[in-house]
Amino acid sequence: MAKNSKSETSKTPRLVRNNGKGAATAAAPARTEVESPRPPQPASDPDSFERLNEMIRIRAYQLYEQRGRADGFEAQDWLQAEEEVMEQYRKRTA
């Protein structure tokens, strides 16, 4: 296998001196991007996001039917359904 001619960055932490007594610590990796906070995650079950999404979809459809199946309110129905389902979820997990 041919080696890349560009120097590759090591994935191991680099040791740097941080005091005059010779003690060394691992250098923190450089951050090139500002990390945004992650949105709250559902329960640790990996399928819970899909279940919540399905519940929101069903509730949004119920709202659509309650309105007499009037078109043009998809985003409003989805946001209202999302708010209702997430409120129920928060109450159950609190």
Taking alpha carbons only, the member of 9, 17, 18, 15 closest to residue 27 is: 15
pTM for the full model? 0.51
pLDDT band at 86 (very low <50, low <70, confident <90, very high): very high
Closest CA to 41 of 90, 78, 79, 80: 90
The greatest distance separating any two alpha carbons of the chain, rounded to the nearest whole angstrom, comes to 77
User: Is pLDDT larger for residue 1 or for residue 67?
Assistant: 67
Which amino acid, 45? D
pLDDT value, residue 1: 52
Alpha-carbon gap, residue 68 to 62, rounded angstroms? 10
Task: Read off the pLDDT band of 92 (50, 70, 90).
Answer: confident
Task: Give the C-alpha separation, 40 to 56, whole Å.
Answer: 16
